[in-house]
Amino acid sequence: MKWNGRIESFVFLGNFLRDFLDEQGRREDPLFSELEVAVRQAGVINQWFVRESVEQALRAWSLNLRKEELEKWLEPYASQLTDHAPDRNVAVIMAGNIPLVGFHDFLSILLSGNRFTGRLSSDDTELLPALARILVHYNSEWEGRITFTKERLTGFDAVIATGSNNSAYYFNYYFSKVPHIIRKNRNGIAILTGDEDEQELSGLADDIFLYFGLGCRNVSKLYFPAGYDVEPLFNAFQRYINFSTHHKWMNNHDYYRSVFYLNQIPALDNGFVLLTENKAIASPPAVIYYEYYANPDDLSDQLSLQKNEIQVTVCKNDIHLSSCLPGHAQAPGLSDYADGVDTMQFLIGLHK
């Protein structure tokens, strides 16, 4: 498929998603109905995939799939992207922690001129195949370049696999003979100064709670200056009071509240989320870890040693650890590669 055709297909998909998110358009096109079924079925299969979360993911991708955004992202690779590069079959083992978590790999593989073979997580089986069918409807040439399978992966030239720290060990072993990207557990952190205004704290609440905090870019650990007052932060959290009616979230909340109580671990509780002091970065759903710091420079040095555990750092000041302002952790650009590995350069390199 020619280069321009690849770009135009994803621009069409972005426009389609924006139309789908407009309530007035959903009943007028069979493709809208098909995506609607996928959205609903995704929530049946995985109860973390409530409609708000799925629409959040669709909206984020609809914004990135604008022609200007795609061209800006791909400009540094323009001299290496051609219409006639030898394609490779890239197998992707996908996570299922948040809706469409593997879409960036899907997009990168197809725009780089390679073929995509996806092994979907059992937690997210509906959404990406639905979007693939929309691409095929727009341009039938995609049909031979996109494959989904539940069987053992075979016949691939390269692999991208996302999983836990434990599974990464096995992935590295099994796929050691082919080019690969293996991703492990990472989480977001936030460094607070105590000077954050109401809007910034509201943005931080989004960074924590969007997708129920299950994404690798969700903030799971807070760093407080000495004497930090958590009341304004808890006030910002009230935007997500509806989590108190989500049974899976509250099962986690109630379980960890009991664990903390029985083990005499102090925890702050606002009724639907627990804050507890802990040096670890990755916290379970309904729990946020925090730690106090005395000196920002010392904290920066400490975090540099833990950089392989951190996907994004939310803070008012740039500390050069993939940082972003409050409210932007779940709005990555196309160049914000997972684990800091340039996926597009990896895929282009397969042509050589």
pTM of the prediction?
Answer: 0.94
> For each of the chain's 352 residues, which pLDDT tens digit applies?
787 889 999 999 999 999 999 875 556 788 999 999 999 999 999 999 999 999 999 999 999 999 999 999 999 998 888 766 678 999 999 999 999 999 999 999 999 999 999 999 999 999 999 999 999 999 999 999 999 998 888 899 999 999 888 888 889 888 999 999 999 999 999 999 999 999 999 999 999 999 999 999 999 999 999 999 999 999 999 999 999 999 999 999 999 999 999 999 999 999 999 999 999 999 999 999 999 999 888 998 899 899 999 999 999 876 656 689 999 999 999 999 999 999 999 999 997 7
Question: What is the rounded distance in angstroms from the CA atom of residue 187 to the CA atom of residue 133?
Answer: 32
Angle between helices 3-20 and 30-45 (to 10 degrees): 70
Question: What is the rounded distance in angstroms from the CA atom of residue 139 to the CA atom of residue 147?
Answer: 15
Residue 110 corresponds to which tokens in the numbers above?
């197809």
CATH of domain 3-184: 3.40.605.10
Which residue reads 């870890």 in tokens? 289
Distances (CA, A) of 187 to 161, 202, 207, 317, 352: 17, 19, 11, 19, 34
Angle between helices 30-45 and 51-64 (to 10 degrees): 130
How much is the pLDDT for 321? Answer: 63
How many other CB atoms are there within 10 angstroms of residue 332's CB atom?
18
Extents of the domains making up the chain:
3-184, 187-324
Phi first, then psi, for residue 94 (nearest 5°) are -100, 145
Question: What is the rounded distance in angstroms from the CA atom of residue 194 to the CA atom of residue 225?
Answer: 7
Question: What is the rounded distance in angstroms from the CA atom of residue 144 to the CA atom of residue 78?
Answer: 24
Q: CB of 217 within 8 A of CB of 332?
A: yes
Question: What is the rounded distance in angstroms from the CA atom of residue 65 to the CA atom of residue 155?
Answer: 30
CATH of domain 187-324: 3.40.309.10
